[in-house]
């Protein structure tokens, strides 16, 4: 290869490498901002330390839209932002932030987000990609979030499993059904739109 050709290819290779890195980084940052925005749409419940938020909806939607690796990176970045003290977590009854919030009563739900988004994405990519499949995949991810949250709550409060389910699962089921349906509808609608514009 001539020196002239090599000199022309080097900047091109560097530019390609930079764009290959910048696009996923931009997706991770914007998607983690979406989760943070949804987390702040919160309704505190007087009978449980766990607020009702839209964050699980964002996690399920991202699982249906992103690859497993990109989804996991997004939610890991979200947790890192929160652990560093950035105001990305839902406001709760306890005035805690950063790592203290992450290890508080809602910690199990939060720590389940990377697992849930990866599970949803993995299942979705192996499904028929229809609305029913999106519902099933999102429901599986939501179940993972609720299960981890309830187990964490039981361990943290030394409550029996029945109390943890009563405080950390049952109050959220009606709202979660709506979040699952909304995430599935948006993801399948987006997929249909992409097919039409190709």
> Per-residue pLDDT for 103 more than 70?
yes
**In this structure, are residues 89 and 82 in contact, taking their beta carbons and an 8 Å threshold?**
yes
Name the DSSP letter for residue 129: -
pLDDT band, residue 48 (cuts 50/70/90)? confident
Comparison of pLDDT for 17 and 34, the residue scoring more: 34
Q: How many domains does the chain have?
A: 1
Beta bridge partners of 8: none
Comparison of pLDDT for 95 and 28, the residue scoring more: 28
Comparison of pLDDT for 120 and 50, the residue scoring more: 120
Collapsed DSSP state (helix, strand, coil) of residue 53: strand
**In this structure, are residues 36 and 158 in contact, taking their beta carbons and an 8 Å threshold?**
no
Q: How far is Cα of residue 141 from the mean position of the Cα atoms in its chain?
A: 9
**In this structure, are residues 107 and 89 in contact, taking their beta carbons and an 8 Å threshold?**
no
pLDDT at residue 146, rounded to an integer:
98
Query: What whole-number distance in Å separates Cα of residue 22 and Cα of residue 84?
Result: 23
Name the DSSP letter for residue 42: E
> Per-residue pLDDT for 20 more than 90?
no
pLDDT band, residue 5 (cuts 50/70/90)? very low
Give the best-scoring range by mean pLDDT among 6-10, 88-92, 155-159: 155-159
**In this structure, are residues 92 and 141 in contact, taking their beta carbons and an 8 Å threshold?**
no
pLDDT at residue 21, rounded to an integer:
79
Q: What DSSP line would sit under 60-126, residue for residue?
A: HHHHHHS-HHHHHHHHHHHHHHHHTT-TTSPP-SS---HHHHHTSTTHHHHHHHHHHHHHHHHHHTT
Kindly list the distances between the CA atom of residue 75 and the CA atoms of 30, 118, 174, 194, in Å, as whole numbers in the listed order.
11, 9, 24, 24
Looking up residue 168, the CATH number of its domain turns out to be 1.10.1760.20
Mean pLDDT of 50-79: 97
> Per-residue pLDDT for 36 more than 70?
yes
Query: What whole-number distance in Å separates Cα of residue 73 and Cα of residue 124?
Result: 18
pLDDT at residue 4, rounded to an integer:
54
Collapsed DSSP state (helix, strand, coil) of residue 41: coil
b/e sequence 152-172, b meaning 16+ C-beta within 10 Å: bbbebeebeeeebbebbbeeb
Average pLDDT score, the chain? 89
What's this model's pTM, rounded to 2 decimal places? Answer: 0.88
121-158: pLDDT as tens digits: 999 999 988 999 999 999 999 999 999 999 999 999 89
Structural domain including 48 reads: 3-197
């Amino acid at each position: 290869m001539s020196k002239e050709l090599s000199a022309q290819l080097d900047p091109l290779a560097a530019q390609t490498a930079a764009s290959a890195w910048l696009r996923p980084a931009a997706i991770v940052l914007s998607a983690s901002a979406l989760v943070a925005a949804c987390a702040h749409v919160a309704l505190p419940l007087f009978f449980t330390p766990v607020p009702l938020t839209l964050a699980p909806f964002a996690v399920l939607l991202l699982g249906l839209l992103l690859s497993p690796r990109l989804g996991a990176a997004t939610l890991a970045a979200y947790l890192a932002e929160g652990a560093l003290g950035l105001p990305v977590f839902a406001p709760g009854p306890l005035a805690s932030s950063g790592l203290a919030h992450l290890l508080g009563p809602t910690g199990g739900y939060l720590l389940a987000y990377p697992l849930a988004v990866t599970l949803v994405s993995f299942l979705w990519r192996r499904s028929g990609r229809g609305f029913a499949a999106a519902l099933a995949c999102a429901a599986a991810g939501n179940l993972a979030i609720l299960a981890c949250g309830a187990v964490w709550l039981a361990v943290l409060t030394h409550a029996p499993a029945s109390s943890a389910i009563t405080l950390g699962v049952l109050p959220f089921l009606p709202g979660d059904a709506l979040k699952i349906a909304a995430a599935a509808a948006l993801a399948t609608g987006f997929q249909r739109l992409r097919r039409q514009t190709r």
